[in-house]
Structure 1
Amino acid sequence: MNKPSGRTNFVITSRQPWEEKQLGSNIRDMARTLSETHPVLFVNEPLDWSSRFSKKSERAQRRDEFIAQNGGRHLIEAQKNLWVLSPKNLLGSINWLPDTGLYDWANRYNGTILSTEIRQAVSELGWKSFVLINDNDMLQGFFLKELLKPAVYVYYLRDNFLAVDFWKRHGARLEPLLMSKVDLVASNSLYLARQAARYNPNSVYVGQGCDLKMFDPSAISEIPADLAAIPKPRIGYAGALTGLRLDGGLIETVARQRPDWQVVLIGATDDSFPTERLNALPNVTFLGAKTPGEIPAYLAAMDVLINPQVLNEVTIGNYPRKIDEYLAMGKPVVAGKTETMALFDQHVYLAENAEQFIARIDDILNGKVLSSPAERIAFAWEHTWENSVGMLTDAIDQLLVSQPQTT
């Protein structure tokens, strides 16, 4: 195995598996970009008892396939300067425990198991020190500062996970404590950065990066057959179809009030989304999930792209990467109004209710737009991972400046 080179080594922990191919991932994109200038060790999501032995879980099967594809190795060089560690040892499934000292003891035990494997990988790579970036995991990451002793510990706050019951059970207590003890909290939205600053004055906004190379309207030469069969005007959405983030009632209202419009929904659905009710409408079409490489061709053939985001604790500070993808295709967009979406108000119509949503779509179809396709594309390309990672490393460098640098 080649030894890494570079000034600062980075270890990244995440609950988003490296082997996941169908969904975009902030932290994987960040790791790839960071590895262009620094050695990076990406720690794959550890498996626990539940994921290994539950018949309903496919995580263990996907992990086994990933390891088999790499000759049974748990530490691989995924690309130049970027290593992926898939921990061997199972962690305890402990989220069901009451939020007491017993949970903390078990959580620290899990952290000890994980940190031991991380230290072994760091030693194999020949690193003497590293910066640790924790991807929004206030549970498994809670004791890593004490157990790993990184040069700098960064908590990457990219979503309000406390709105989800799994994370809230223990995270409501642990996340503020973790943010208080890390060296830096980095957030991808101004809203989340302000929330973090209540617990740690060293909280910074690093923007949001997007990998837009695939989203090139000039490269699209053909409309997908299943979309070409749908008449215009096409009002489209592409992404996960979940009631946690999307307002199914708003989509239904748009479709019912404007039967002359075709509402096209692309993505996998979950049980919280009103799929049956919407599917019963003659002008709503579900095209199912598509691979990331297929998405741009679908976006290119839409007349208006939408993000009917429901406003709740999960989405209030969320940065929707799909908006940059929409704009990179030069398309006009209507989206739900949130604090983060104010960043886009020169190019995206923002609506607070169904009446406004319908009116803004109608405006676009009648030629009333906020900006030209070229302006939308240029704006989207301001939001690169290089810019976001650059802001993050600048903040980290300020913390490291007084420390001796070793590799």
Structure 2
Amino acid sequence: MKFDVVCVAFPAWEGDYVKSTIQLMSELAAHRRVLYVDYQYTIKDVVQAIFKNPFGIPVARILGLKKRLRSIVLENGATIYVLSTPPVIPINFIKKLSLFDKLLRFNSFWQAKTIQTTLHKLKSKEYMVINAFNPSYGIGLYESFKPHIQTYYCYDEIGASHWAKEHGPRLEAQFMKMAHYVIVSSEGLQNSKKLLNNNIYTIKNGVDFELFHKAFIPLSQKNPKKKIGYIGTIDQRIDYDILKRLALEFPDNEIIIVGRVLDDMSEVKIQTDPLKEIPNIKFEGAKSPSALMEYLKEFHIGIIPFIKNEQTAAIYPMKINEYLAAGLGVVATDFAPLTEFGKAIHVSENIENFIRAVRDLLENDSDDIQQARVEIAQQNSWKQRGLQLDALLEQFYKGYNKP
């Protein structure tokens, strides 16, 4: 059935790391017209970006000095529409509920006006709304989207997000009860959110298979000096004791860490500073997806050393399929349900098992085993996830009776 999709996004369109919302909307754009309502930048964000703009914030578009709406031709050949809305007043830090809610209504008024003007320009009358991890504007824009179907896409435990600690859980619980449907990215999230909305479905994270498979090199052709690698953000989710033990147990092997280090958080800095002094641990910083390939080509093993808590239980990490697409052996802690991968990855219940699994891969991994990993990743591509999402939205549209 023919309908457009309006995605009110939390993730910004600009950026050099993989975002599940952008991946899904990019794949969906191959099947439907998609309007991606970009991250709601604050006045503070815009002022700072005027003087220094490392993240490529589209300041001119946000201020209306350029057309707010742009059409972008994607690598898959599809076209997506990206809308930059006017800057909003920063309110996440406000603790007083009445003031927060009043300012949210004010911010939402200008957002709604810009979105509805754009939908009129696009002549979009029949559409569905996907709110991507942005419950405050899910609530703020809810009335302006009636009577259209509204779905909440949740890909993380919002209560664990630093930016949302004041209002996130309250607003998410409220919006999930308002939304017609909910889509989550993991089994853990489905278990934790299902009490708030019965119409809940799971679409797990995928992988840009064509990109990450470029990093595939048969083990027999790799440097005999084997490297243990991690790609991703270094934050409070990491079990730093595992990294220390790896460095101690495998002094002749480099442990390469590629990703942002959130050492502006004291609990992260106190852990990472000592690690930077260990000779065989290398921190490489954040890299673009294409630059990651050069690192993955050199890795022999990909690790996911997450601690086990409420936040990590909700994660379906993209890096598992990224490692597998590159043919890497994977060792992870048992932070979340990962049984679907079977014996393709090693899931460890404690540090000793983790070290044992790494040692086994270093000594016994082979070219033949690599191919089985690649086949699993191929089944979990973003293209497949996009088809799954399109079919699910079709199901929502057919099954929903508008008032």
TM-score > 0.5 by shorter chain: yes
* 2:186–2:316 CA contact under 8 A, matched in 1: yes
Three-state SS of the structure 2 residue aligned to 1:47 is coil
Conserved 8 A contact 1:220-1:297 = no
Residue by residue over 1:315-343, the C-alpha shift from the partner in whole angstroms, topping out at 9 and shown as x without a partner, is: 22111101101001111110111223233
Matched, 1:381 2:375: no
Change (3 A) 1:346 1:220: closer
Aligned counterpart in structure 1 of residue 30 of structure 2, from 32, 36, 42: 36
Query: Which residue, out of 317, 321, 324, partners 1:320?
Result: 317
Number of paired residues? 389
Equivalent runs, 1:241-390 vs 2, <5 Å: 242-271=234-263, 272-273=268-269, 274-367=271-364, 372-390=369-387
Deviation at 1:67, TM superposition (A): 4.2
User: Shift of residue 290 of structure 1?
Assistant: 2.7
Equivalent residues of 2:259, 2:285 under 8 A apart: yes
Alignment match of 1:52 (pick from 19, 38, 46): 46
Equivalent residue in structure 1 for 2:195, among 177, 194, 198: 198
TM-align CA RMSD = 2.8
Cα displacement (A) at 1:65: 5.9
The 8 Å contact of residues 346 and 357 in structure 2, kept in 1 or not, is answered as yes
Higher helix residue share: 2
User: Structure 2: 5+ residue runs without aligned partners?
Assistant: none
Q: In 2, distance between residues paired with 1:391 and 1:38? A: 13
* Equivalent position amino acid for 2:84 in 1: S
Comparing 159-168 and 388-397, the one that deviates more: 388-397
Residue deviations 1:180-206 (CA, integer Å, cap 9, x gap): 110100011111112221011000112
Mapping of 1:16-95 within 5 angstroms? 16-20=11-15, 22-54=16-48, 62-64=56-58, 67=61, 72-79=66-73, 80-87=78-85, 89-95=86-92
Write the distance in 2 (CA, Å) between the matches of 1:63 and 1:48: 11
Offset of residue 355 of structure 1: 1.3
* 1:19/1:66 contact within 8 Å kept: no
Relative to structure 2, which stretch is displaced further, 198-207 or 106-115? 106-115
How far apart in 1 are the matches of 2:311 and 2:33? 33
Give the Cα–Cα distance (whole angstroms) in 1 for the partners of residues 33 and 207 of structure 2: 21
Contact 1:111 1:140 survives alignment (8 Å): yes
CA-to-aligned-CA distance 1:203-225 (integer Å, 9 cap, x gap):
0112222212112257769xxxx
Q: 2:211 is paired with a residue of what secondary structure?
A: coil
Residue aligned with 1:268, SS: coil
Runs (4+) off by over 3 Å: 53-61, 64-68, 217-221, 368-371, 402-405
CA shift, 1:311, in A, is 2.3
Contact persistence 1:99–1:169 (CA under 8 A) = no
Alignment-mate amino acid for residue 227 of structure 2:
R
Q: TM-score, normalised by structure 2?
A: 0.88
How many Å separate the matches in 2 of 1:133 and 1:58?
32
TM-score, length-scaled by structure 1: 0.87
Alpha-carbon distance between aligned partners in 2 of 1:370 and 1:155, rounded to the nearest angstrom: 42
Matched, 1:184 2:181: yes
How far 1:98 moved relative to its partner?
2.4
Identity %: 26
Closer/same/farther in 2, CA of residues 258 and 7 from structure 1, 3 Å limit? same
Structure 1 counterpart of 2:163: 166
